Structure 1
Amino acid sequence: MPMRRLPVRSLAALTVLGTLTLTGCGTQTADPGGRTVTSAGAGKTITAQKVMQVTKVHEESGMTLLEGPVFDENGKLLVVDVTAPAGKPKVLRLDVRKKTSQSVHTDSRGAYTSAQFSPYDGRIYLSDFVHGEIVSLAPDGGDPRTFFTGEVDGARMNPDDIAFDQEGNLYISDSRGLTEGTEIGRVVRIDREGRKATVLADKLAATNGISFDVDYRGLWISELTQNRVSYLLLGKNGETVASRHTAIRVDGGIAQTDSIAVDAAGNLYQALHGRAAMIVYNKHGERLATVEVPRGTTGLESATNVAITPGGTRAYMTVSGPAGGYLYAFDALARGIRQSNGG
């Protein structure tokens, strides 16, 4: 079937497709920087430039959806293809200079929506949205292990994005309720050994993006079905939430709030599902910029996530639609840190 715009994030279709199709540091490129145009009242517009096509629409699933960009220690960019069928590359490593890609990992069932390197053991961690699991790989893509599976407080997760604290504990956006349209999403903390899972926040509207702020004091989370970004101030040792409030209401029109990244200046890069664009806010909720693909570009429907070159300002945005899965580049407003590298 052709890839299409869904009423909620394409991941909603995966809960059905999962049983039908899914079973059975950084470098600087030579690509030109984005052209910036001032736009009164809404910050500036940054036009991202195409770097490369990464994937085509899969016949088996009828779509492709790139996510979870993260730089490895060699400056190569890893991405996941959420809807890749069994046997096709589900994790890919991109050389943004040479504009080449290679398969890192595939399996028979995973629907991976994010990728992150743990500061604790250096392994790649993937969230399997459909099966409610966290899987880890060796840096080269081998040695797959199930890090966490099962229920958390009586309910299996739909893990979307991952954020690590400085000690390697995982903070996960659990997008429960996405397909039903109910506000039963959660933020779940799993200790770095995978032994203890705790619900930090609940009654959220399809929790999607998640990222620590610059000082690791709190979490920015996006709620897809309410188009809002909330801020969770963490308590002692990050094991509780001291306070929680709606921080930003995103005027996305038909687009919805997807993943979040944070740069060294504390700016938030809010990806949009349903529009090939991102909105950049400062920590006070002021809209600084909109990042979008060039006008006239067709067949691209969602900008899901971004990775900013660690220590640099070159940013790489994953964009997908009926035309396939693409990587676009632009100049970020500040340098990249761990909070803007994966999730």
Structure 2
Amino acid sequence: MTMQYAEQNSPVPIPPAESGLATQIATPWFKVSDQTLQLEGLCFDRDGNLYFLEVFGGSIFRLDPRSMKLSTVFSLAGRNPASIKIHKNGQLYISCLGDFTRGGLLICNPDGSQQRTILQDYVVDDIVFAADGGFYFTHFVGTSCEPTGGVYHVSADEVVTPIMEKMAGPNGVALSVDERTLWVTETSANRLHRIDLTADGKSIAPYGTSVPYHFTGYHGPDSCSIDCDDNLYVAMYYQGRVMAFNRLGFPIGQFLLPGRELGHHLLTTHPMLVPETNQLLICTNDPVGKNGSWIFSAEGFARAHQPYQFK
């Protein structure tokens, strides 16, 4: 008997353990470029503008969802920016991969003025703010056989404290609604970490670490974000989909990009809910099909969590 390929011999088949999850097909929302741009860092400001970036070219974009007008605000060419988060004071905090051995965190005004850089000894991939004005960041280094990365806490006065080290490419980071649980995706080890924090948020609670999920397939989990019900959304890089997990790390659903079964729109990097709605935006690009760079839309499980910047 000759074995038969499943799913039209797709390069990215859905693993059997995930094929029964609640599934939604995302729809095109905005085409950013005809070029293949590594889009990342979806983040809304208080006026409803969407900021995001292109990693390898360094462009910082702003999209007005009312007019759907896209503008390039400024450029960080050569710094390989990886995420944007907006502080309560309105400043942009832009994670920079740098030369992939040293990067940093760039802090500036929304127009790119008054720039300063901290954490220059780290390859900063993503951050998430806490209510006290501090934040957590991932140091995106390490391989599956040499785990040298980690996740760290930075206080409001910029004191760095390690939370977890010896990680293989820690990437996305998110904080639960009550700020007692830290989520970290470990790209090069294909793992999702759930970390229970002490009351001060600067260390791990007793018996506070677990790996509730091991991902399957190439390449691995990327950026992540939460909704107001503490569900976690994780972009699956080179799989053209986003997976959703409940507050304990059990998978509850997935969002697929159209054409992924043929190899299109696979470079999915970041899911983010539109403030005050359950609209989930997903950025990606399509090096296989040459269909450019896009933001897709789907319907999340719950409304967006109101993050630090809006409180």
TM-score range for the pair, normalised by the shorter chain length: 0.7 to 0.9
The aligned counterpart of 2:13 is none
Change (3 A) 1:272 1:49: same
Change (3 A) 1:141 1:56: farther
Deviation of 1:315 after TM superposition, in Å, equals 1.4
SS of equivalent to 2:268: strand
The aligned counterpart of 1:293 is 257
Deviation of 1:209 after TM superposition, in Å, equals 0.9
CA contact (8 A) 1:220 1:230 kept: yes
The aligned counterpart of 1:185 is 149
The aligned counterpart of 1:128 is 96
Q: Does 1:173 align with 2:141?
A: no
Scaled by the length of structure 1, the TM-score of the pair is: 0.77
The aligned counterpart of 1:319 is 284
CA contact (8 A) 1:158 1:176 kept: yes
Q: Does 1:118 align with 2:98?
A: no
1:298 & 1:220 partners in 2: Cα distance?
A: 29
Change (3 A) 1:187 1:278: same
What do the CA deviations read for 1:143-187 (whole angstroms, capped 9, x no partner)? 2222x134xxxxx31111101001221200111214x85211111
CA contact (8 A) 1:262 1:340 kept: no
Deviation of 1:55 after TM superposition, in Å, equals 3.1
Deviation of 1:340 after TM superposition, in Å, equals 11
SS of equivalent to 2:24: strand
Return 5+ residue gaps in structure 1 as ranges.
Answer: 1-38, 58-62, 151-155
Q: Does 1:263 align with 2:232?
A: no
The aligned counterpart of 1:44 is 22
Paired residue for 1:245, among 209, 214, 221? Answer: 209
Change (3 A) 1:181 1:98: farther
2:218 & 2:79 partners in 1: Cα distance?
A: 29
SS of equivalent to 2:200: helix
1:251 & 1:123 partners in 2: Cα distance?
A: 35
2:254 & 2:82 partners in 1: Cα distance?
A: 24
2:71 & 2:94 partners in 1: Cα distance?
A: 18
RMSD of aligned alpha carbons? 2.3
Deviation of 1:286 after TM superposition, in Å, equals 2.5
- How does 1:1-343 map onto structure 2 within 5 Å? 42-57=20-35, 64-84=37-57, 90-119=59-88, 121-130=89-98, 131-146=102-117, 148-150=118-120, 156-178=121-143, 181-194=145-158, 196-242=159-205, 243-295=207-259, 299-322=264-287, 323=290, 324-338=292-306
Change (3 A) 1:124 1:181: farther
Identical aligned pairs, as a percentage? Answer: 24
What do the CA deviations read for 1:85-141 (whole angstroms, capped 9, x no partner)? 5xxxx210012343321011213432110110113x321100111242100121343
Return 5+ residue gaps in structure 2 as ranges.
Answer: 1-16
Q: Single out whichever of 235-244 and 303-312 deviates more from structure 2.
A: 235-244
1:281 & 1:108 partners in 2: Cα distance?
A: 35
- One-letter identity of the residue aligned with 1:80: L
Deviation of 1:298 after TM superposition, in Å, equals 5.2
SS of equivalent to 1:303: coil
Change (3 A) 1:232 1:241: same
Deviation of 1:339 after TM superposition, in Å, equals 5.2
Q: Single out whichever of 290-299 and 106-115 deviates more from structure 2.
A: 290-299
Change (3 A) 1:49 1:41: closer
Scaled by the length of structure 2, the TM-score of the pair is: 0.84
Number of aligned residue pairs: give it. 285
SS of equivalent to 1:208: strand
2:103 & 2:196 partners in 1: Cα distance?
A: 26
Q: Single out whichever of 294-303 and 101-110 deviates more from structure 2.
A: 294-303
CA contact (8 A) 1:42 1:287 kept: no
